[in-house]
Chains A and B, each alone.
Chain A
Amino acid sequence: VITQASAGTESLLVIAPMLVALVTAVVALLVGHRPRVREVVSLAGGLGYALSAAALAWYVVLAPDAPGIATYRVGGLEAPFGIVLVADGLSAFMLMMAATIALASIIFSRHYAAHSGPRTFYYPLFYFLLLGVSGAFLTGDLFNLFVWFEVMLMASYVFVAYYGGPRHTRAAFWYVALNLLASAVFLLGVGGIYATTGTLNMADLARRLADPTAYGIDPVPIVGLLALLLSVFAIKAGLVPFQFWIPTAYRAAPPPITALLVGATKKVGIYAIIRLSFTVFAGAQVGVALELPGTGIAVTGDSPLAFVGAVLFVMATASIAVGGLGAIGRESIEGVLAYSSIGQIGFIAIPVAIAATTASSELRRVAIAAALVYALNHTLAKGLLFLSVGAIRNAAGTSRLADLGGLAGRSPPLAVAFFVGSLALVGIPPLSGFFGKFLVFDAAARSGSAPILGLLLGGSLLTIAYTTRVWNRSFWGARTPAVDAADVDSVQVAVVLALALAIIAVGVGFEPVYRFAEAAADAALDAESYVDAVDPAGGETE
């Protein structure tokens, strides 16, 4: 009772981002028939969401006397019986990332949604999507994670089908089919874990897996069940071989939504991989010995992490290759960007894989921080680029490279922003992308693996190749008729310029950002504090 009273504000702050998203969604639905009110509500919601996420990050992680972790018990029920929402460094970092791109995207949408499609449902769906993302970042319960995934997906289904043309309905159908199948697999994994351990609360899971004999459980099936969950999260993140839905879905959705999908929804997959592998399953003592028949290549280790690391290495390597090579030959800017995001997710997964396989706790911490910094840069840069595509498509009516050219002369501010975004993707100092790339290379070098360094280098060269191609074909060269007639919207350009400034700001003032990422990595690895904060009594009621 005493802890509840003193932790009242913090515990409300934990759910503040979700409350803001939910309330805004409902209010936007109610005032849907009045365009002016609707826009004010959605803008206020975007600002409120960003502010609540920032307040949560400040009070829980960044303030000098921050507790580092805060919980909200749904319905006042104690863990592990009730659902607990947990905000720690990792959740706060992901929320801030999502809030940044969501705010940019909602301001950008203000002009975008007014021009096309069934206008009434755009904003409510946007906030339901954001609600699902926030819930997934905050929940401390495995089945609840499944529910938030569904909330997030349902909104995204509608957005992929939003324009309702042949291309969009087709993309939406395959997107829905794939994700329904993934949901069934997710359920299988969740059910299996419940049958194995007798709990779904993540903290309780971590506690039981660390000491299986005390709870009378046999943790061996965990590795296979984790593989099921890993494939579901890989679908959300778009890692090869689950990347095939990305190009069609990203091209079908409205560009501001694609920016949100790539900036927030994709990162939910990465977050779930990090949270479950490192906070929940890392403590399990399960001998892993897998051998590829006939090759002599074997994976051995004494925790499920050995398995996660090996699988992620393979998927990330394939993602970097498929994404990089696929991006080079695309005909439209968003086609290039969609394939590029497959490759970039590979760059995020490599340090996660390094963290999973290394024995050194210092390298593990550095590698996860590297993955988070890279994810932040990818959200900012790729969000900026997708929003630029929206601005270009709005102005010139096309985003096909063949129909574009000379955009730099037509709209210098847009060109500057796009240039900054491209450079951040490539990793030029002093932009945020430089530190992302540098930290990932640093983690690879510390792990002492030459093939990984070579892979990262090859992937970076491919990034340079396709960004240069897009830049040359659309911003330089002779002006095409479409570009000549283009009328660039000033609000949209202002938003992409603001994101460009954010990329520069993160690069120049990198020190605090890195400290935040380190705090997030510490939170991901510190299962003990997580368990203590969620369930100090160890599931015992008086």
Chain B
Amino acid sequence: MTAFVLAFVVGALFALGTFLLLRRDLIRVVWGLAIVSQAANVYLLAIGGIVEGSFETVPVLAGHGEGAPETADPVVQALVLTAIVIGFGMTAFALVLSYRVYQEHDTLDASELGDRG
């Protein structure tokens, strides 16, 4: 069930992100980029899924006396943490850049910006 929901969320986020990326408004493009990178993060998290607990995955608790808890793969969590930080910084930069584009061109419409000059 969890897997199904996660797969649906990842798919919906990618669809929404792609839709926004293809808009003419630069701010929507930035939103699209943010959503696509979040979709990639959710996808990464989904990989780590919660597995049956064993002391091999949490050696710290081996001498604790209790049973082994359910855990998620810590590696993907670390990856996602890094990716979130990078993605946050880059989204902020892209927003500032789109404001600078607006200052220079007085428009945020991609079709009015052109690509020459």
Q: Is the CB of B90 within 8 A of A176?
A: yes
Q: Which residue of A lies closest to B113 (CB)?
A: A170
Known: A150-B86, A191-B47, A191-B76. A161 touches B37 (CB 8 A): no
The reply on A157 being an interface residue by CB < 8 A is: yes
> Quick one: given A166-B105, A173-B94, are A248 and B40 in contact (CB under 8 Å)?
no
Contact code string A154-173 (vs B, CB < 8 Å = 1, else 0): 10010001001111011011
Give the docked Cα–Cα distance between A187 and B33 (Å): 13
Interface hit among B1-9, B50-58, B60-68, B96-104: B96-104
Whether the pair A176, B94 counts as a contact (CB closer than 8 A) is yes
Query: Do B93 and A157 have beta carbons less than 8 Å apart?
Result: yes
Q: Which of A22-30, A32-40, A115-123, A177-185 contacts B (4 or more CB under 8 A)?
A: A177-185
The CA of A477 and the CA of B76, in the complex, are separated in Å by: 62
Measured between beta carbons, the chain A residues less than 8 angstroms from B98 are 173
Interface residues of B in 23-59 (CB under 8 A from A): 26, 29-30, 33, 36-37, 39-41, 43-44, 47
| Known contacts A180-B37, A181-B21, A187-B83; A173/B97 CB under 8 A | yes
| Cβ-defined partner of B43 (8 Å) among A164, A181, A191 | A191
- B80-117 CB contact bits vs A (8 Å, 1 = yes)? 00110011011101100110110111000000010101
Closest to A186 in B: B40
Contact A180 B117 (CB under 8 A): no
A177 in contact with B47 (CB, 8 Å)? no
From residue A178, how far is it (CB to closest CB) to chain B in Å? 10
- Interface residue A223 (Cβ < 8 Å from any Cβ of B): no
Residue B79 CB within 8 A of the other chain:
yes
Partner of A190, one of B37, B79, B101, B117: B79
**Is the CB of B75 closer than 8 A to any CB of chain A?**
yes
Do residues B90 and A180 form an inter-chain contact, with CB atoms below 8 A?
yes
Residues of chain B at the chain A interface (Cβ within 8 Å): 21, 26, 29-30, 33, 36-37, 39-41, 43-44, 47, 75-76, 79, 82-83, 86-87, 89-91, 93-94, 97-98, 100-101, 103-105, 113, 115, 117
In the docked arrangement, what's the CA distance between A45 and B68, Å? Answer: 52
Main secondary structure, interface of A, reads helix
Q: Which residues of B contact A180 (CB under 8 A)?
A: 33, 36-37, 87, 90-91, 94
A191 near B86 with CB under 8 A, answer no
Docked pose: A169 CA to B89 CA in angstroms: 18
Residue in contact with B94 in the complex, picked from A170, A177, A190, A191, CB distance below 8 Å: A177
Q: From A200, which residue of chain B is reached at the shortest CB distance?
A: B75
Residues on A with C-beta less than 8 A from B37 are 180, 183-184, 187
A147 with B97: CB separation less than 8 A: no
Residue of A161, A164, A180 with most chain B CB atoms under a 10 A cut-off: A180
**How far, in whole Å, are A177 and B75 apart by their CA atoms in the complex?**
28
Chain B interface main SS type: helix
Chain A residues with Cβ below 8 Å from B87 are 180, 183
**Cα A181 to Cα B87 with chains together (Å):** 10
Q: Whole-angstrom distance between the alpha carbons of A190 and B103 in the complex?
A: 37
- Give 7 new A-B contacts, CB below 8 A, not counting A157-B97, A170-B113: A150-B86, A173-B97, A173-B98, A180-B91, A187-B40, A187-B79, A194-B76
> Cβ of A485: which chain B residues have Cβ within 8 Å of it?
none
Q: How far is the CA of A170 from the CA of B29 in the complex (A)?
A: 13
The distance from the CB of B51 to the nearest CB of chain A, in whole angstroms, is 12
A176 to B86, CA, bound (A): 13
The answer for the CA separation of A177 and B117 in the assembled complex, in Å, is 20
Instruction: Tell me if A74 counts as interface (CB < 8 A to partner B).
Output: no
Whether A143 sits at the interface, judged by CB under 8 Å, is yes
The smallest C-beta distance from B105 to any residue of chain A, in angstroms, reads 6
Residues from chain B with a CB closer than 8 A to the CB of A165 are: 104
Residues of chain B with a CB closer than 8 A to A174's CB: 115
Docked pose: A335 CA to B40 CA in angstroms: 35
Q: Which of B43, B79, B104 sits near A143, CB closer than 8 Å?
A: B79
Residue in A170, A176, A184, A188 whose CB lies within 8 Å of B93: A176
**In the complex, the 4 A-B pairs of residues with the closest C-beta atoms, listed nearest first:** A166-B104, A187-B40, A184-B40, A195-B47
Chain B, residue nearest A185 (CB): B40
Give the residues in chain B near A167, CB-CB below 8 Å: 117
CA distance A14 to B28 in the complex (A): 43
A–B Cβ pairs within 8 angstroms, 30 of them = A147-B86, A150-B86, A157-B93, A161-B97, A164-B100, A164-B104, A165-B104, A166-B104, A169-B100, A169-B103, A169-B105, A170-B104, A173-B26, A176-B93, A176-B94, A177-B29, A177-B33, A180-B87, A180-B91, A180-B94, A181-B33, A183-B87, A183-B90, A187-B43, A187-B79, A190-B79, A191-B43, A191-B79, A194-B47, A195-B47
Q: What is the chain A residue whose CB lies nearest that of B106?
A: A166
CA distance A248 to B113 in the complex (A): 13
Q: Cβ of B100 and Cβ of A184 under 8 Å apart?
A: no
